Chains A and B, each alone.
Chain A
Amino acid sequence: MIRTAAEALDAAARRNPDYADVRAVETRTRHVSTKNGRISGLSSSESAGAGIRVLCAGSWGFAATDDLSPGGLEACAALAFEIARASGRARRRPVVLAPEEKYVAEWISPCAIDPFGVSVEDNLKLLLAVDDELRREQGVTLAETSMDFVRERQAFVSTLGSRIDQTRTWSGGGYSATSFRGDEIQRRSYPNSFGGQFQLKGYELIEELKLVDAAPRVASEAAALHSAAQCPEGRFDLVLDSSQLGLQIHESIGHPAELDRVLGSEANFAGMSFLTLDKLDNLKYGSEIVNVVADARPEHGPGLGTFAFDDEGVPAQRTDIIRGGLFTGYLMSRETAARIGKPRSNGCMRADGWARVPIIRMTNVSLLPGEQSIEEVFDADGIYMETNKSWSIDDRRYNFQFGCEIGWELRNGRRVRMLKNPSYSGVSTEFWNSCAAIAGRDHWMLWGTPNCGKGQPEQVIGTGHGASPARFSNVKIGSAYSG
């Protein structure tokens, strides 16, 4: 792919752009799923193409093609330039890029067991074993299981002279048990909802998840929820498990910290952000124990936001987003870093495959482990919630509401009764300032969110979110069912 990318870059460079880069990408996927004992999905896909991005007279143009012949790449480069020239018709300021170095590198994400080397028969055998376990519980009316594997090889070249060859392999797996009874549908999922856990790993992830072992508990909880008490409405101390907290970080810290949103690029679709430029280094985002980083480096862990270089050739970095409760950093591109006077991008540009232009995306946006024991985190009279069921946040990422699959009433730190339909809502900064306890590294998990949507045309990408269970004080609970 490097040769293809270099050919495309030559075609662009001959037209004398201010700057150009090319990503040539090959993607391979496998999806396997079951539903109530039958195969419901069995597919594989392969796709290859190239995207050419040019900066010409201060304006961007981007064109992508799956015709990788010399003629196809030449036509694609010409189209990118035609588009860039048209952009100049409505331009109020020229694009300026923060400086960056030239890199020549090759990186392959760690993958102990090649998921594409594991037979589909073995995939199905495991999923159907889980399915069997789930449906042993009589109250389960729908058992669904799935596995997904993706390998993406990307060659990046730019007029800075960079030549970067990256291969990322990620895996995911999980299941849910749904129970319909009377006038209720209840569901429990493992290890997370909406497909399970996803990490930048090979098939070893699936083995680590021990999918079959958890199935009896998950199935019995789905059925038991029908008999549980309705989650009360009011203000309570709230303990969240790490998977729900991962999504809370994603929505109320990760998205608002995207600098393109702050500057207005997403105003028509994904929205803007309450983190206006005056808030940087001034806003008390959370309590003093809240420390959040955006970290794409492999040493942060095998997250869906882990890589060696972003999609405009900037090395993976760690940025403090919140340090000791203070808002300290945005997610940036070369263009937006220059807009706010930063000397360099912190490497957050990513694209959904070869056909889409890189935009600012979360990498691994994680809450660092705290210093409290898990017993101290749960030491409350309040409510514990686990596993996301629904999520919604306003277009400035300020007012949110989350629902979880299951809740428990806590008394003196002990679970005393199961609660159904738990939900909580609030305002991003008030919520994070109410953070009273965060469990330590032993309970920290790097969760994968494979389906984050942003941009026009919409791009879906995977992000990582590390968290350990945490407690929040005096949170508004239950308004989803009020009125």
Chain B
Amino acid sequence: MSGKTVSLFIQCLVDTMFPETGEAMITVFDRLGIPYDYPKGQTCCGQPAFNSGYQQDAAAAAKHFIDLFEDAEVIVCPSGSCVHMVRHHYPDLFADDPAMHSRALAVGAKTYEFTQYLVDELGIVDVGSDFTGTVTYHDSCHLSRGLGIAEQPRTLLGNIQGLELIEMKDSDTCCGFGGTFSVNYPEISTAMADEKIDNILETNAEVVTGCDISCLMNILGRVSRREEGAQVLHIAQILAGAKRDQGEKI
């Protein structure tokens, strides 16, 4: 196993609304003996600004991130779209600034999504957790299409004792979040979320999980409004051994 110290890249929504996801990641790292630290001063990777076209503003957030994480040995984040932002869009933001461009490339090259880091970098396929219940998995767009991560989370889930993974229809179809899109075009966004939730419910799985908290927040928000029974958990919570219906009490 790599002795590299993981710098925890805690996505802004995890920090403010879903800290239990960050703590679950810590639980998994502790169990596996993976060293970690948490660079203080983290805010937002800049994705909302970038996706809305505000590239200069996104670049300011990117510079803040690069300053903060530049010395990290390896950077791991429980959110695929943020990793995609750092890896693929940061270098573009500094296309006209060779010094920043190369710093962005260097930081991007050592930034990994949580399950990707465990499986691809550390070769861990079994995190040794228990989780009793049926689970269905949502493929987030930037994770699956942007980073090509689809098998890693399934491998990890597949090796959890007591967990039965039930694939939903169109698992890689967008949930309708899309950042500011969700607020600017709520009728379209909600219709897309409904399609996703119908596919989730069709599996009869007790839990829906994924590797990107933004999508999960969208799904959770609509599930809650529709008063459906499905529980929404980040994959880190399942890997940490969250008990069903105790997602927030790990």
Partners in one complex: no
Could you tell me which A residues sit within 8 Å of B by CB distance? none
Could you tell me which B residues sit within 8 Å of A by CB distance? none
